[in-house]
Structure 1
Amino acid sequence: MTDTYSPIPELNLLAEFEGSVDDLYAAGFSLDTTFGRDNTFLKDPQLEDRLILFAEANGSGSLYALWRIDDRTDLATLPVAILGDEGGIHLVARDIREFLQFLASLEEEPCCDWGEPLGFRNSEPTPCRNEYLAWLDRHFGLAPLDDAYDSVEAALVELGKAFTTWVYPLIPEAVYSPCHELNLLREFEEELDENYATGFGMAVEFGKYGYGEAPENPELAESLVPFAVANSSDALYVLWRVDDRTDLAALPVAMLSSEGGVHLIARDLREFLQFLASLDGEPWDDSGRIAFRDGEESPGRGEYIAWLERHFGLAPVNDPATVIETARAELGEQFATWLAPRVGRA
């Protein structure tokens, strides 16, 4: 590889460095011999036009690509994504320099699959890592991140909404849902790997009812989009398609009980996230109203509250019932009018 490897000075310098060492310097990583090699295997012009392949990401054939988020000419400022060898596409960095830090921070090689958060798995040793760290500091004054996932999270926070808007119509299975906020929550849940809100857990598949969960009325089922389990009695949290808005995070949230009751919870998804942060008991359908069963505090609640503040600048409310009351005050009459002919009662 030479200094004309690519139109990106940072990658040209990296190509020179790679040619100067005789072993791995970042987990699973090596530059392609040809920058921007053939990507027609993606089999979609909108993917081919927007993804520029440039490196191997792991030992089983996953690839790194620049995502042409727009038509800017400075390719070094484009985000970087990983394309999983078994499927999936995931953002890993906001630009090339952050990507170089991501590489320096890897302890295991990355891997991804359809609709799943980025994962990491054991890989071959990287004998030349120290040389790479010295190179990164010498050329760019950069050091490894505290955690490789830091750059992934930063990319999701800043660019995740645009990425979801672009990729979901092309490859729906590439993300958990068409809703950026829920995708962030799914990432958090998978990374934390313990309960963080009483009774709550994301659905395995967004928008899909499990056996026996769907309302009998097809029109009701079509308008209520399930995304999470609400309690130990198999109630579901659902988005209420009150209209045809495209931003799903702006839709109201309701709870569909296993007995068939439907109850407003929050005016929109961010308000719902505050509701979750406030729970100290699981919600349930108590003869047509929402009540809260006593329960122990979720072990990951503190981490969730910190995540909520970090990503959205939001804090828990004093009482989760106030979120419900606010939703009912603003939307209750409209909700009751909509619901009554579909269930025979409000």
Structure 2
Amino acid sequence: MSDAYSPIPELNLLKGFQDRSADFFSPGFELREYGKGVAWSDDEAPEFDARIISFARATVSGSSYALWRYDDDADLSALPVIFFGDEGDLYVAAHDLRDLFHELAQDDPDDIAPDRRSYIETRRAYKVWLESTFGPVPPERERGPMAEYGWRFADWLTAVGMEDAAEIVVDNLEAMGIDRP
């Protein structure tokens, strides 16, 4: 039996970096037990749990990231990343894991106290690790992750009996001005 964190090499590499780090490398982000369910699921929607693979805490308040396994044949690292907000938000956050990793490096909080040297050093180390492991920021895609996957995700949520969750995604799509294809 493998003692790897997950069956996804990219996540295993990130787990190795996280385990060697003295502090958070992105505000509130932390890998957690791979595949452990998200709080949005319930016993009424087993199809939901079968297709959502939780892997990280997204915020210190309890939001999480998960992969949406919309295709059984897809490379797990290439699946879209879903943000499940602790205050009810729900959207497609990234096209895939590498996009998420690069996004985590982009947000530099302005309110970090100078005495947080450990965090600042870990953040710098993450950016160096990211570029040396996965290369520079990938070219911008023609469509954002919500435009690419949002309507399909909302339709899938409806199909598996998660109508309330689908409504949140649709509200976000409409607020972003993303028309149904």
**Secondary structure of 1:71's match?**
coil
Say whether residues 1:140 and 2:139 are aligned partners.
no
Selected match of 1:160 from 120, 143, 150: 150
Distance in 2 (CA, whole Å) between partners of 1:91 and 1:49 is 18
Let me know the Cα RMSD of the aligned residues: 3.2
Cα 1:249–1:15 change in 2 (3 A) is closer
Q: Which residue of 1 aligns with 2:80?
A: 79
Q: Which residue of 2 aligns with 1:187?
A: 176
Say whether residues 1:11 and 2:1 are aligned partners.
no
The one-letter amino acid paired with 1:174 is A
Distance in 2 (CA, whole Å) between partners of 1:178 and 1:59 is 22
The answer to which structure, 1 or 2, has the higher relative contact order (CA under 8 A, 6+ apart) is: 2
Aligned-residue sequence identity (percent) comes to 36
Q: Which residue of 2 aligns with 1:21?
A: 21
- How does the TM-score come out when normalised to structure 2? 0.78
**Secondary structure of 2:70's match?**
coil
> CA shift at 1:90, angstroms?
1.3
Is there any run of 5+ residues in structure 2 with no aligned partner, and where? none
> CA shift at 1:59, angstroms?
0.7
Contact 1:37 1:54 in 2 (8 A): yes
The one-letter amino acid paired with 2:14 is L
Contact 2:35 2:53 in 1 (8 A): yes
Distance in 1 (CA, whole Å) between partners of 2:64 and 2:92 is 12
Distance in 2 (CA, whole Å) between partners of 1:9 and 1:178 is 29
**Secondary structure of 1:49's match?**
helix
Distance in 1 (CA, whole Å) between partners of 2:180 and 2:26 is 38
Say whether residues 1:30 and 2:30 are aligned partners.
yes
Q: Which residue of 1 aligns with 2:163?
A: 172
The one-letter amino acid paired with 1:89 is L
**Secondary structure of 1:92's match?**
strand
Distance in 1 (CA, whole Å) between partners of 2:147 and 2:15 is 30
Pairs within 5 Å for 1:96-111? 96-107=97-108
Distance in 2 (CA, whole Å) between partners of 1:31 and 1:5 is 10
**Secondary structure of 2:144's match?**
helix
Distance in 1 (CA, whole Å) between partners of 2:16 and 2:125 is 13
> CA shift at 1:175, angstroms?
4.8
Q: Which residue of 2 aligns with 1:243?
A: none
Cα 1:123–1:38 change in 2 (3 A) is farther
Q: Which residue of 1 aligns with 2:53?
A: 52
- How does the TM-score come out when normalised to structure 1? 0.43
Q: Which residue of 2 aligns with 1:204?
A: none
Distance in 2 (CA, whole Å) between partners of 1:123 and 1:78 is 32
Contact 1:3 1:13 in 2 (8 A): no
Contact 2:91 2:150 in 1 (8 A): no
The one-letter amino acid paired with 1:94 is H
Distance in 2 (CA, whole Å) between partners of 1:171 and 1:68 is 16
**Secondary structure of 1:161's match?**
helix
Contact 2:157 2:163 in 1 (8 A): yes
Q: Which residue of 2 aligns with 1:63?
A: 64
Q: Which residue of 2 aligns with 1:129?
A: 123
Distance in 1 (CA, whole Å) between partners of 2:21 and 2:57 is 17
Distance in 2 (CA, whole Å) between partners of 1:84 and 1:177 is 11
> CA shift at 1:19, angstroms?
1.1
How many residue pairs align between the two structures?
Answer: 170
Distance in 1 (CA, whole Å) between partners of 2:112 and 2:58 is 11
Pairs within 5 Å for 1:158-237? 158-169=148-159, 170-175=161-166, 183-188=172-177
**Secondary structure of 2:176's match?**
helix
**Secondary structure of 1:42's match?**
coil
Distance in 2 (CA, whole Å) between partners of 1:42 and 1:249 is 26
C-alpha distance after superposition, 1:46-70 (max 9, x if no partner)? 2111111111110111111011111
Cα 1:86–1:5 change in 2 (3 A) is same
